[in-house]
Structure 1
Amino acid sequence: MADFSPPDERRGKAATGAGRPPGGPRKRKPRRETSGENSGDRPGPGVQQGSAWRRQPRQAYAAIDLGTNNCRLLIARPADDNFVVIDAFSRVVRLGEGLAQTGRLSQEAMDRAVGALRICSEKLRKRNVHLARSVATEACRRASNGMEFIERVRSETGIQLDIITAEEEARLAVLGCHVLLEDGPGPAMIFDIGGGSTELVLIESGAPVPRILDWQSVPWGVVSLSETIGLEEGDRDHRLSRYGEMRRIVTESFAEFAARIAHHHNDALRLLGTSGTVTTLASLHLNLPQYDRRAVDGLIVPAKAMRSISDRLSGMSPDERRTLPCIGRERADLVVAGCAILESILDIWPAPRLGVADRGIREGILRGMMTADADGMEAQAALRRLRRGMA
């Protein structure tokens, strides 16, 4: 069901295009995908679907993911067995800033988020969106004024945010990125390091939609963990001590889950991560001068290389990290928390390689909407055929 109703007005005509990912070292070839124009965001991927998609009209679908740190939008149309992204938007809003201390969303953070959502709202109108779903995650789940904020967003932008559970967040992330998993036997692990929480999902792959065997969410993301531990101060020894405390907190939070899944360990562990942390570290691994989604999405990186980069970043000062390509000011104070979470995950699921996905919740939302719409169209067509046969 749509959560945004564009007013009656003249619609803008959508532009489309196609992206072609270049080859690269250890790059896993993803399933066929196409991407459209890029409006301030890394271009999004298409995903394979059933043949019913081929018969769908070229209507636009939209997904908004309002997280603890970022506001992201994708608008796409079905195309053959995939979808083509026709518009995208991403902005760092830090909605959860100060939440760990106050338990509330601050006025400044809400203003930033509403400003970004106004841009999303305008894009939905211009692209004549047929069906949209907008979700909010950990920051709104935890904040005592979360529902007040949801109502303000609806009133000022027309967007109805759905505060989803951690379980739904994990399911959507898996749905959006599982096609990038390496082939192999046994269960695989997919994780999503967010701003306010981290989800770990153990799946049985092979089917069009993976079966979830077990999952866990902890309230530690790059924002919540950074704020709980406190500011970086002092020399390198202090920074390393702070990093060790982050690792301890996350490891303890995942201890019960780690014990539950230990019997699934084998000689061919597979691991796939979706988050700004893994895409940033993958960019550093490739020595990219600036972020390039085509080089990163679907990359396979040795786990030792990711640990080495994490170790290097944890000892650097914020000013030193700001000078690194693909980190800059926006990520300099948060990436260390992401590194601590990532290393704890590698301890829990010691795979030799890490798959990197620049896709997740938004793509999962789009896939779910398009599939449901296609199924509905198939059911309606079957009913019409039945009625003709009875006439």
Structure 2
Amino acid sequence: MSEQLKNYYAAVDLGSNSFHMIVAEMIDNQMHVIDSHKDMVRLADGLDAKGNLSEEKMKFAIQSLRKIGQRIKHIPKSHVRIVGTNTLRLAKNAKVFMKRAQKALGKSIEVISGREEARILYLGVAHSIQNDEHNRLVIDIGGGSTELIIGNDFTPILRESLHMGCVSYTNKFFSDGLITPENWNKAVLHAHRQVVPIALEYKQLGWDLAVGASGTLRATVSVLTENGLTNEGIDPQSLNQLIEKCLQLGSIKKLSRIKGLSLQRMPVFIGGLAIIKGLFDALDIKRMIGCNGALREGLIYDLSGRLNHNDIRKRTIEKLCKQFEVNIFQSELVRASLNKMLDILNLKLSDKQKRLLRWATKLHELGLKISHSHFEEHAAYILNHADMPGFAQHEQDKLAAIIASQRRKIKTEWLQRLSREQKEKVIPLIVLFRLAVLLNRSR
């Protein structure tokens, strides 16, 4: 890596509504953006009734990714993080799209869970606003999901991801392009019902500041300000005035008459507005301010932390070991055997492969807390389904595949979750790990 690029990082957020890219330089733990790009791809629009992305939408998305790929091609791969969110979590043919997308980008893509998206998003917001000792509520309304986080300083306390977004709600409730009291009330009621199951816990914990981090919320703040309905942020009164204006206009096309609403945002604005109304009512929000920090900024701070020995994944592993009372001495025995084998065989494993093996040695006996019988499968299930801050889903899938096959026959059902390329890298690790565990069966 050249000296000039060692402090450069890139993050790409493949959202359900927009694709965002930023390139930034980190100086004294502060991010300085030097390039950014945004395309309104509306990936969620491409999902058909069977849950597959259409060929037309995939081609359109790939065109956008080729442009992004050109802008990040000089950034070292270890300094780039590209994540897919709700639509890529849902799409049945996501692997087909991702293979083509990774070729266009020249970099790998991770699909992250909704709760992991919430954690990273909060990190981006926390670095963008002034810190104090009070709790803050952070909300991001994306194209297909909405993330809600209560945190303090740089630490998220509550994290949730709900299946509602500006694209999906516009398609579901306003597909005919009309804005009527009937379809408006249906959309708001649906959003309200999504929030109610978590509302009590959030209100009991409480917050002093509500922050809107998405394009939907920032666009709403901008429209309210442009029309003189508020001096700062969103409050229930100004929100209701804007809703009344939209109902009077009666159609999505006529929203172009609203001052301050961009033509790009207009087609999905009404779905996002219904979600905001549902959130304000269910959580009794009195005022919300907009914020520029978001998922992409959080990705860069998170990646920078990993490379500077502040990797949250290490804390996640330690927490799981403590929670399931893992025998650390046995883990170290297996790790020592693995290291000796790697030295003797002189295998050329990547840093990512070595890291997977290191994690596996620590976590392979998690399942003993549940039952000695088939404990390896219990451990794999836990790792596949647990909320693991810092981990992408593919990392959890690989760990589960390695640990499930540590003894008895190799569990092919866990390997089926991996792509062909991922299998090729994981199968040698399974062989090595089985041997290391076998060598230490006597404990």
Q: Which residue of 1 aligns with 2:242?
A: 309
1:115-264 equivalent positions in 2, closer than 5 A: 115-126=63-74, 131-179=79-127, 187-203=135-151, 205-206=152-153, 209-212=154-157, 214-233=158-177, 239-264=180-205
Q: Which has the higher contact order (CA 8 A, sep 6+)?
A: 1
Q: Which residue of 2 aligns with 1:279?
A: 218
Q: How many residues are treated as equivalent by the alignment?
A: 308
Cα shift at 1:249: 0.8
The TM-score, its normalising length taken from structure 1, stands at: 0.71
- Report the structure, 1 or 2, having the larger helix content: 2
Give distance in 1, aligned partners of 2:170 and 2:49. 12
Instruction: Decide which of 328, 342, 347 is 2:262's aligned counterpart.
Output: 328
Give distance in 2, aligned partners of 1:151 and 1:136. 13
Deviations 1:172-215 (A, max 9, x none): 11010124557777533111100011111122x13xx2232x23
Give distance in 1, aligned partners of 2:212 and 2:174. 26
Q: Which amino acid aligns with 2:95?
A: M
Give distance in 2, aligned partners of 1:148 and 1:348. 39
Instruction: Decide which of 193, 201, 209 is 1:270's aligned counterpart.
Output: 209
Cα shift at 1:139: 0.5
Cα shift at 1:333: 2.3
Q: Which amino acid aligns with 1:352?
A: K
2:119/2:159 contact within 8 Å kept: no
Cα shift at 1:264: 3.1
Secondary structure at the counterpart of residue 195 of structure 1: coil
Cα RMSD of the aligned pairs, angstroms, is: 2.9
2:16/2:87 contact within 8 Å kept: yes
Q: Which residue of 1 aligns with 2:337?
A: none
1:89/1:120 contact within 8 Å kept: yes
Bigger-Rg structure (1/2): 2
Residue 71 to residue 343, structure 1, CA distance change in 2 (3 Å): same
Cα shift at 1:245: 0.6
Secondary structure at the counterpart of residue 306 of structure 1: helix
Residue 130 to residue 84, structure 1, CA distance change in 2 (3 Å): farther
Question: Are 1:369 and 2:281 matched, yes or no?
Answer: no
Cα shift at 1:332: 1.7
Quick one: percent identity of the two aligned structures? 23
Give distance in 1, aligned partners of 2:187 and 2:202. 22
1:332-371 equivalent positions in 2, closer than 5 A: 332-371=266-305
Cα shift at 1:371: 2.1
- Unmatched runs of 5 consecutive residues or more in structure 2: 312-443
Cα shift at 1:242: 1.0
Residue 275 to residue 311, structure 1, CA distance change in 2 (3 Å): farther
Misfit runs of 4+, over 6 Å: 182-185
Instruction: Decide which of 57, 64, 81 is 2:12's aligned counterpart.
Output: 64
Q: Which amino acid aligns with 1:85?
A: V
Give distance in 1, aligned partners of 2:51 and 2:295. 25
Cα shift at 1:164: 0.5
- Unmatched runs of 5 consecutive residues or more in structure 1: 1-5, 15-56, 290-295, 378-391
Q: Which amino acid aligns with 1:362?
A: R
Give distance in 1, aligned partners of 2:106 and 2:69. 7
Cα shift at 1:100: 5.9
Residue 288 to residue 100, structure 1, CA distance change in 2 (3 Å): farther
Q: Which residue of 2 aligns with 1:42?
A: none
Instruction: Decide which of 83, 101, 122 is 2:49's aligned counterpart.
Output: 101
Cα shift at 1:288: 8.1
Residue 311 to residue 202, structure 1, CA distance change in 2 (3 Å): farther
1:181/1:355 contact within 8 Å kept: no
- Report the structure, 1 or 2, having the larger strand content: 1
Residue 306 to residue 190, structure 1, CA distance change in 2 (3 Å): same
Give distance in 2, aligned partners of 1:332 and 1:127. 34
1:75/1:85 contact within 8 Å kept: yes
Which stretch of structure 1 is more off in the superposition, 105-114 or 153-162?
A: 153-162
